[in-house]
Structure 1
Amino acid sequence: MSIWKVYAKKADFYEIGKKYNIDPVVARVIRNRDVIGETDIEMYLSNGQDCYKILHNPRTLLDMDKAVSIIKEKISSNSKIRIIGDYDIDGICSIYILYKALEKIGADVDYVIPHRIVDGYGINENLILQAKEDGIDTIITCDNGIAAIDQIAYGKKLGMTMIITDHHDIPYIEDNNEKIYLSSKADAIINPKQIECTYPFKVLCGAGVAFKLVQVLYEEYEIPDLELSELIEFAAIATIGDIVDLKDENRVIVKLGLNKIKNTKNLGLKALIDLCGIDMENISTYHIGFIIGPCLNASGRLDTANRALQMLLEKDEKKAYELAGDLKALNDERKDMTQKELLKGLDIVEKDSLNNDNVLVVYLPDCHESLAGIIAGRIREKYYKPTIVLTNAEEGVKGSGRSIDGYNMFEEINKCKDLLIKFGGHPMAAGMSLSEENVENFRKKLNDCANLSESDLTKVTWIDVAMPVDYVTMDLVKQLSVLEPFGKSNEKPIFADNNLIVKNAYLIGKNKNVLKITLENERGNIIEAISFRASQENLPVRGDKKSILYYPNINLYNGRTSLQFNIIEMSE
């Protein structure tokens, strides 16, 4: 069980509620998400319809005007442009956004997606040489390129124009405990994380950065905002799928993007949503993050991400359905493979006593390298420890890591860079390659460097409001919808109540793993609740007193609506 803590952030919740016509509980949740001041609150509560007026000025991104000027000159001179992206959901959507936009404004443009196994992550010398041989004048990267110092230099040596659009952390070296940030010789670099960049929002995904570039290009070519709306749904999909912070303009992009997806004109996306059995009218961040996103990612994991992009670009409905069906089948195969390797990984942690380590490094030599990140995330969830899964690759060993709050994986791995061939990533996730002989040394050094206490390795669940269950009404539940869409840094709120008496409890569902429970509070109010984390061994007993963490919903059954409380955690 996690440690429960209640937010204690201060504001005049009643005044905020009155001003914006929301319940003080909703106002408190908004404050807990660090949304402060009229401008931020209005952006947070906006319905997304006027998002282009709300979004930050893209021209404040460092090198934006320079990149746009170069692209305009290349278009006017009929120079060939190639987009090089990444093979994950963010890379696929980034390429789609740039390709469709550049095509619309008259560019001679094509794209290349690196193959996960053959090419590895990001732009490389072979891709650059191939572009040169294909008569390409200009390369634009998306969702990669910021760390490609030598590769960009190679492109410049060949006389090519190189433009980077990326969102990853800026690479650096340490000298006397001082970080010295590195930069390539690209003709223009658009990345809000650059130290000199004054753009006010630093955590766009790769497709978000690409969308910003398109905003300015469309403005230059006098293309109306309405045309942007055909692309924002893909910026939204990438924002959700790449798990960047769902706050500020990311949240606005996702709001408008989800609204657009409900009426999408993209045949491939529409087919995939249909084949996955999703109700288009009620599509949410959950559907994108856990159903659509994995299908798009499966192409890059097990085959080539070109299949996903071809589906999104397809103009024939029948062919779009065929391609969507292929992606769904690939994802089903990926899920089976993941489960088998996950069980092996958990077994290794237990049998090899790796669970005594504070940082788990699990070597699964036969695992498909594309599954390492997923499995690392699952193992991290079980043990709540930073986890890296390593697999055998064509050249040496490759790995992917997932971190926990308080452990900056990118910086910690940087301390071990002498054992690595290549690495990159974020505070919460990273990728690396190394020789097999360094696997054990890498594990030991990571743990030797780790400064993690017992409290760091105990998950904390933050309670938004300690709210008695009888305060909840249908109207409040409906008001909570203004907090959507939910995601990283804008999580679904958690409420708490205690001293609830168990009146009845039993297991339902095909696998008897869903708890249906009736609870009564001290004032005699009775509620119906449900929990998806249950077993016969921990079945509550009638008369027990329980504390619960919950989120309220409206349940519709046989035409009748009622309040239902989803239990997130319950005291033992």
Structure 2
Amino acid sequence: MKANSQWFVYNKKADFFGLAKKFNVDPVIIRVMRNREVIEEEDIRRYLTGDSSDFYNPHLLKDVEILTDILIEKFNENKTIRIIGDYDIDGVMSSYILRVGLGKFSNNVSVRIPDRKKDGYGLNMNMIDAAYEDGVDTIITCDNGIAAIDEIAHAKELGMTVLVTDHHEIPCKIVDDKKITLRSQADAIVNPHQEECEYPNKKLCGAAVAWKVICVLYEKMGIPSEEADELIEMAAFATVGDVMDLVGENRIIVKEGLKRIRNTKNIGMKALLAACNIEMDQVNAFHFGFVLGPCINASGRLETAIRALELFLEKNPLKAKTIAEELVTLNEERKELTVEGTKEAIEIANSKEYENDTVLVLYLPNIPESIVGIIAGRVRESQYKPVFVLTKGEECAKGSGRSIEEYSMFDEMCKCRELFIKFGGHPMAAGLSMEETKINVFRKKINEISPLVNEKLTEKVHIDFYMPVDYVTMDLVRQLNVLAPFGKANEKPIFVDKNLKIRRMIVMGKNKNVLKLFLISEKGAEVTAIYFGDINEFEEYLIDKYGEEEVNNAFLGKNNKILISMVYYPTINAYNNNESLQFQMQYFH
């Protein structure tokens, strides 16, 4: 079995064959959807064929009427408006959407994105004072602001109007074991997490919230809805890049956004696709999350995210090309720093001092503040524990956390709020700043209150169902694409088959990091599988179970006694104009 994992096979019931016939798909498709809790026929329809007509009414968002009415009033009075975003992909896309949307009605709209090092996350006193000195009348936030209680109070004291659009958890404090939510003095707050908000989709990203606001604003100002629809591609980009759940409306936003991005009019987006060697008509959710998105995030991590915003606002193709290439280069630099930092963090996490910690709090003072979140995610994958990685900031320690499904990071941090200068986030991720002297206190307390038990911290692998490789056909693999776009909460389906005989194994790739297996099923079918995981771990597992001689025989293509169970995703391998089935092995035992 792949290290530190437990397998769980779903066993949910439904009329798979009846529904498959009704919706003209293979029963496998219906079974996978049932495992994603897509049960009612209307939900199945939306999942398979949902489009923009299935979006929820943006007017359901609490305070959206107040916020847009205030904006219209400010336009009419020719007041200066400043958008304050954030330095990650969601913050950049939110800022872009608001800049384009508000810019239709006013020439007095500016954008500021915090500098990660100088300003830290979100709205802060320095940015408010700078806005005041610049004569700004109204601040509108995007992808931040919900937790800026003191900062907004300061802006109100200076006489400014403050509008908040955000999607982060509502801040709270614990009094007598009761959670009390906090609200700033903002003139309007649009955030679907607010208790009184009737908007059905609570898991919009910040850019999607900003887009919904623009939809309402355009409607009130008589702008055709088609113009608002042009911004869906940026909301989709951020939805994937900010790792939101790709279910329900979010999934439709991404589907619709991908349709539009394949014909994008945005010169900056075209330049970024070209710089990343991605054909416009081939772009998919994977590219959003793992190729394009990191280039945007790299600008905020190593330089300033305003450069990424400039890319998407740029009208000159040559200038856009230059910026896009800069961002790709920055991302390569970020990758190198991340590899070094991850290695150091895992060494610390594996040390004896940390073996009893169910929540890892790691202090790496020499790591760039900008990549601590990525490193926390890598350590989380390695250790399967919630992880906080902190580093030395200009004035205090700053860090990011990444969690596991059993642990609500934001809720647990609320119980330690007195230790932080600032914090915010989601159940699965968080950001924080604190005095260096309090790091060990935090580590001790977060572990003392942890509900986790060390012995039970193993990765849980949820398998859709047992499906012999013999059942898989080219047509089925093509049908599986209807389940895309894949991402958080709508992962690629995975299946399991057992008693697969290894006919031969070959290590491939320039870096010898790909394993190709020629397998024979229980019924005698010959199939090929590819494994991109830790080849040494796989080889050691087989040697422990079958002995070195049997493993050597398998590498030489000789008869051997090895049998494996394989968790896989089926694909079509295209080579020299020939197509063949290929199984991507995800886990083994």
Do these two structures clear the TM 0.5 threshold for a shared fold by scoring above it?
A: yes
Q: Which amino acid aligns with 1:122?
A: G
The number of residues matched between the two structures is: 568
Work out whether residues 25 and 465 of structure 1, in 8 Å CA contact, stay in contact via their aligned partners in 2.
no
**Partner residue, 1:568:** 586
Following superposition, the deviation at residue 279 of structure 1 comes to 2.5
What does the per-residue CA deviation read over 1:86-138, in whole Å, with 9 as the maximum and x for residues that have no partner? 11100000000011011123463111111111111111122112212212111
What does the per-residue CA deviation read over 1:229-259, in whole Å, with 9 as the maximum and x for residues that have no partner? 3211110110001001111111011011111
Query: For residues 210 and 534 of structure 2, what CA distance do their matches in structure 1 show?
Result: 44
Picking from 39, 42, 54, the partner of 2:42 is 39
Query: For residues 442 and 115 of structure 1, what CA distance do their matches in structure 2 show?
Result: 26
Query: For residues 50 and 468 of structure 2, what CA distance do their matches in structure 1 show?
Result: 30
Work out whether residues 373 and 401 of structure 1, in 8 Å CA contact, stay in contact via their aligned partners in 2.
yes
Query: For residues 460 and 309 of structure 2, what CA distance do their matches in structure 1 show?
Result: 39
**Partner residue, 1:275:** 275
Work out whether residues 81 and 107 of structure 1, in 8 Å CA contact, stay in contact via their aligned partners in 2.
no
Work out whether residues 255 and 485 of structure 2, in 8 Å CA contact, stay in contact via their aligned partners in 1.
yes
Query: For residues 71 and 280 of structure 1, what CA distance do their matches in structure 2 show?
Result: 35
What does the per-residue CA deviation read over 1:407-433, in whole Å, with 9 as the maximum and x for residues that have no partner? 111111222222222111111111111
Alignment of 1:114-129 (within 5 A): 114-129=114-129
Q: Which amino acid aligns with 1:21?
A: N
**Partner residue, 1:495:** 495
Following superposition, the deviation at residue 534 of structure 1 comes to 4.4
Query: For residues 66 and 81 of structure 1, what CA distance do their matches in structure 2 show?
Result: 16
Work out whether residues 26 and 479 of structure 1, in 8 Å CA contact, stay in contact via their aligned partners in 2.
yes
Q: Which amino acid aligns with 2:477?
A: V
Alignment of 1:73-222 (within 5 A): 73-106=73-106, 108-222=108-222
**Partner residue, 2:377:** 377
**Partner residue, 2:543:** none
Query: For residues 132 and 180 of structure 2, what CA distance do their matches in structure 1 show?
Result: 32
Structure 1 window deviating more from structure 2 (231-240 vs 513-522): it is 513-522
**Partner residue, 1:12:** 15
**Partner residue, 1:345:** 345
Work out whether residues 356 and 454 of structure 2, in 8 Å CA contact, stay in contact via their aligned partners in 1.
no
SS in 1 for 2:462: strand
Following superposition, the deviation at residue 209 of structure 1 comes to 0.3
SS in 2 for 1:353: helix
**Partner residue, 1:362:** 362
Query: For residues 204 and 194 of structure 1, what CA distance do their matches in structure 2 show?
Result: 13
Work out whether residues 58 and 212 of structure 2, in 8 Å CA contact, stay in contact via their aligned partners in 1.
yes
Q: Which amino acid aligns with 1:193?
A: H
Q: Which amino acid aligns with 1:307?
A: R
Alignment of 1:292-441 (within 5 A): 292-351=292-351, 353-441=353-441
SS in 2 for 1:118: coil
Picking from 21, 24, 40, the partner of 1:21 is 24
Work out whether residues 96 and 309 of structure 2, in 8 Å CA contact, stay in contact via their aligned partners in 1.
yes
Work out whether residues 358 and 454 of structure 2, in 8 Å CA contact, stay in contact via their aligned partners in 1.
no
Work out whether residues 174 and 415 of structure 2, in 8 Å CA contact, stay in contact via their aligned partners in 1.
no
Query: For residues 30 and 441 of structure 2, what CA distance do their matches in structure 1 show?
Result: 50
Work out whether residues 503 and 518 of structure 2, in 8 Å CA contact, stay in contact via their aligned partners in 1.
yes
**Are residues 335 and 106 of structure 1, via their aligned partners in 2, closer, same or farther at CA, if it must alter by over 3 Å?**
same
Work out whether residues 515 and 534 of structure 1, in 8 Å CA contact, stay in contact via their aligned partners in 2.
no
Query: For residues 461 and 105 of structure 1, what CA distance do their matches in structure 2 show?
Result: 50
Query: For residues 352 and 134 of structure 1, what CA distance do their matches in structure 2 show?
Result: 54
Following superposition, the deviation at residue 42 of structure 1 comes to 1.9
Alignment of 1:531-542 (within 5 A): 531-535=531-535, 538-539=538-539, 541=554, 542=560
Query: For residues 50 and 279 of structure 2, what CA distance do their matches in structure 1 show?
Result: 21
**Partner residue, 1:444:** 444
Q: Which amino acid aligns with 1:544?
A: I
Work out whether residues 357 and 454 of structure 2, in 8 Å CA contact, stay in contact via their aligned partners in 1.
no
Following superposition, the deviation at residue 362 of structure 1 comes to 1.0
Q: Which amino acid aligns with 1:177?
A: D
Root-mean-square deviation (Å): 1.4
Work out whether residues 46 and 252 of structure 1, in 8 Å CA contact, stay in contact via their aligned partners in 2.
no
Query: For residues 47 and 435 of structure 1, what CA distance do their matches in structure 2 show?
Result: 49
Query: For residues 556 and 527 of structure 1, what CA distance do their matches in structure 2 show?
Result: 15
Q: Which runs of 5+ in 2 are unaligned?
A: 540-550, 555-559
Following superposition, the deviation at residue 62 of structure 1 comes to 0.5
Q: Which amino acid aligns with 2:531?
A: S
**Partner residue, 1:552:** 570
Q: Which amino acid aligns with 1:33?
A: R
Query: For residues 318 and 526 of structure 1, what CA distance do their matches in structure 2 show?
Result: 51
Query: For residues 106 and 22 of structure 1, what CA distance do their matches in structure 2 show?
Result: 50
- What percent identity do the matched residue pairs reach? 54
Work out whether residues 7 and 465 of structure 1, in 8 Å CA contact, stay in contact via their aligned partners in 2.
yes
SS in 1 for 2:231: helix
What does the per-residue CA deviation read over 1:479-510, in whole Å, with 9 as the maximum and x for residues that have no partner? 10000000000000011111111111121111
Instruction: Give the TM-score taking structure 1 as reference length.
Output: 0.97
Q: Which amino acid aligns with 1:212?
A: K
Query: For residues 455 and 475 of structure 1, what CA distance do their matches in structure 2 show?
Result: 43
Picking from 3, 7, 16, the partner of 2:6 is 3
Structure 1 window deviating more from structure 2 (552-561 vs 480-489): it is 552-561
Moved over 3 A (4+): 536-543
**Partner residue, 1:480:** 480
Work out whether residues 245 and 487 of structure 2, in 8 Å CA contact, stay in contact via their aligned partners in 1.
yes
**Are residues 6 and 537 of structure 1, via their aligned partners in 2, closer, same or farther at CA, if it must alter by over 3 Å?**
closer
What does the per-residue CA deviation read over 1:59-89, in whole Å, with 9 as the maximum and x for residues that have no partner? 0010111111111111111111111111110
SS in 2 for 1:193: coil
What does the per-residue CA deviation read over 1:196-246, in whole Å, with 9 as the maximum and x for residues that have no partner? 111111000000100110111111122223212321111011000100111
**Partner residue, 2:260:** 260
Following superposition, the deviation at residue 9 of structure 1 comes to 2.2
Query: For residues 317 and 309 of structure 1, what CA distance do their matches in structure 2 show?
Result: 15
Work out whether residues 149 and 183 of structure 1, in 8 Å CA contact, stay in contact via their aligned partners in 2.
yes
**Are residues 298 and 534 of structure 1, via their aligned partners in 2, closer, same or farther at CA, if it must alter by over 3 Å?**
closer
